[in-house]
Amino acid sequence: MIGSGFYRFGWIRGLGWIALALVLIGFMDALWQFELASIWEQWLPVTTDFSVTLPVSLAGSLIVILIALILIRLITRRVTIKM
């Protein structure tokens, strides 16, 4: 997603795609409650201290993956190949 954003929009807007990717990684991490959740709590006022069952984590992960794939498709739909 980051690579296609940089390829299509250049480096200034590409930085925005890095931020968007970090947000998606944060959602995925909050679903699975890994170590990154404690880092997000220091910067954001939102608490990530909630318990999620396995089916909810799987469904949420599939949703995040689908969002990322749809964004990549929207970015690369009409891109010209640079050689």
Residue 65: which pLDDT band, with cuts at 50, 70 and 90? very high
pLDDT at 69: 93
- Apex CA 23: angle with CA 46 and CA 30, to 5°? 55
Q: What is the Cβ-side half-sphere exposure of residue 2, based on CA atoms within 13 angstroms?
A: 9
CA-to-CA distance for 58 and 80, rounded, in angstroms?
Answer: 35
Are 8 and 79 a contacting pair, CB within 8 Å? yes
Q: For residues 67 and 27, which has the higher predicted lDDT (pLDDT)?
A: 67
Amino acid at 58: L
Q: Which pLDDT value is given to residue 46?
A: 59
Task: Give pLDDT tens digits for 13-62.
Answer: 888 889 999 888 888 877 877 655 566 666 666 555 567 777 888 898 99
